[in-house]
A and B are shown apart, each in its own frame.
Chain A
Amino acid sequence: LAKTTQPISMDSYEGQEVNITCSHNNIATNDYITWYQQFPSQGPRFIIQGYKTKVTNEVASLFIPADRKSSTLSLPRVSLSDTAVYYCLVALFYSGAGSYQLTFGKGTKLSVIP
C-alpha cells in the first residue's frame, strides 16, 4: 500500500492563498497524482491532476517535485465556499498482476474564516 500523509486540518482567511501538501511514497512512476474536494454528504469532486512539475487549471495549481514523493495543492484566494475536506489520491501499479491499488490520503479539513 502507498502511504500518504496530509495535515488533518487548516484554517485560512478569505482571500488568502492556501497550500496543502501530501507526502506519498512508493507511488506508480507512470501514473497521475490527483486531488479531490469533498463536501459533507457528497461524493468527492475532482480538482486537478498532474504527473510532474506544475499544473494549473481555473481553480487550483498542483506542484509536484521531480522525485514525486510529495505534491502540493494550491488554492488561490479562497472563499467561504472552499470550506471542505481535500484529499490527495495516488496509485500503486503491480506490473506482475497488471493491477492498480489506489490510496486516498486521510484528508485535510480546510476551514475558511470570514
Chain B
Amino acid sequence: DAGVTQSPTHLIKTRGQHVTLRCSPISGHKSVSWYQQVLGQGPQFIFQYYEKEERGRGNFPDRFSARQFPNYSSELNVNALLLGDSALYLCASSVGTGNYEQYFGPGTRLTVT
C-alpha cells in the first residue's frame, strides 16, 4: 500500500511569489493535516481537513490556505511568500480527526530567496 505522497519534494521560490503544495493521503484516510517544520524545531500545525471541511487551524496568517478534494487529496497554498516561510512542509493523513494516529509524508522542502 502506498504511503502519504507529497509533491514537489523541493522547490525554490522568490519573495512575494505564490506556491501550491500537494498531498495524497493513504487510501481510505479521509483526514489530511498540514504542518510547517523549521529546521531544528518541532512541526507547527497549519490546518486539518476532514471530508473536505476544515476541522482545525493553527496560528498562521491568512496568506496560508488549503482545501481538500473529493478524492481526499489536499493542496496547501501560500501567497506573498516571505523568507520566513522557508521550511519543510509536512502532510499527514488519518482515518479520523483531532489527534488520531497520523501518517506523515516525506515533506516538501520550500526555500524562499
> Measuring CB to CB, which residues of chain A are less than 8 angstroms from any residue of chain B?
1, 28, 31-34, 36, 42-46, 49, 87, 89-91, 93, 98-107
Contact = CB atoms under 8 A, between A and B. Distances in A.
A49 B104 contact: no
A27 to B, nearest CB: 9
Given A42-B106, A99-B57, A104 B43 contact: yes
Contact of A100 (B98, B104, B107): B98
A104 B33 CA distance: 13
A99 B58 CA distance: 10
Interface of B: 4, 33, 35, 41-45, 48, 54-59, 90, 92, 97-107
Nearest to B57: A99
Contact of A32 (B42, B43, B44, B100): B100
Contacts of A105: 42
A105 B106 CA distance: 20
A104 B105 contact: no
Contacts of B42: 87, 104-107
Contacts of A106: 41-42
